[in-house]
Amino acid sequence: MANILLTRVDNRLIHGQVGVTWVNHLGANLILVANDEVSKDTIQQSLMEMVVPDCIATRFFSIEKTINVIEKASPKQKIFLVCKTPQDALRLVEGGVKITEINIGNMHFSEGKEQISSTVSLDEDDKKTLRKLHELGVKIEQRRVPDERVEVDLLKHI
């Protein structure tokens, strides 16, 4: 079984909070970004790798590739799995990836979304997806950084 320390939904994917703060907190040695678009975009990958310390490996896989290879990971790999959307995370879970907990970090506001905290806005599809993940037994929390208290009960918003 893959050693997934935490799965985070953050539409910014890898940035300072992910590449340094969360990695240090979790003790991760691999950040795996699971997103179809970013898996093909070497420019975005290069920009994201700039904020990650050299001692931390990064991988940029499509959802399908993640489903197919994550269980082959070495037990030495301590994986911090990062998805762009809750829909990406649901596809992973439905594909058999053993995700027990999801941290919602950042989901930008846009038209049609309800802002439920300073960093998280949800539309109806997001709410439906999070409900489905919850029904599948995935614990869902919302925190920007590890030492922040969980202030928003996402379940009452979905």
pLDDT in tens, 24-57: 999 999 999 999 999 999 999 999 999 999 999 9
List pLDDT tens digits, range 130-156.
999 999 999 999 988 898 877 656 777
pLDDT, tens digit (0-9, with 9 covering 90-100), for 60-87: 999 999 999 999 999 999 999 999 999 9
What pLDDT does residue 19 have?
A: 87
Is 90 exceeded by the pLDDT of residue 9?
yes
pLDDT at 17 over 90: no
Q: How many CB atoms lie within 10 A of CB 112?
A: 10
Contact 32, 82 (CB under 8 A): yes
Res 95: pLDDT: 98
pTM value is: 0.94
Domain that residue 114 falls in: 4-157
Q: What's the rounded mean pLDDT across residues 9-16?
A: 93
Query: Tell me, what CATH number does 24's domain have?
Result: 3.40.35.10
Other residues' Cβ atoms within 10 Å of the Cβ of residue 29: 16
Token code pair at residue 133: 């993940």
Q: Report the pLDDT averaged over residues 90-105.
A: 96
State the Cα–Cα distance between residues 89 and 97, nearest whole angstrom.
Answer: 9
Q: Which pLDDT score, from 0 to 100, does residue 148 have?
A: 84
Distance CA 10, CA 83 (A): 6
Structural domains of the chain, count: 1
pLDDT of 152: 59
Active site residue 15: yes
Of 15, 25, 134, 157, the catalytic one is 15
Residue 85 is encoded by which pair of tokens?
Answer: 């959307």
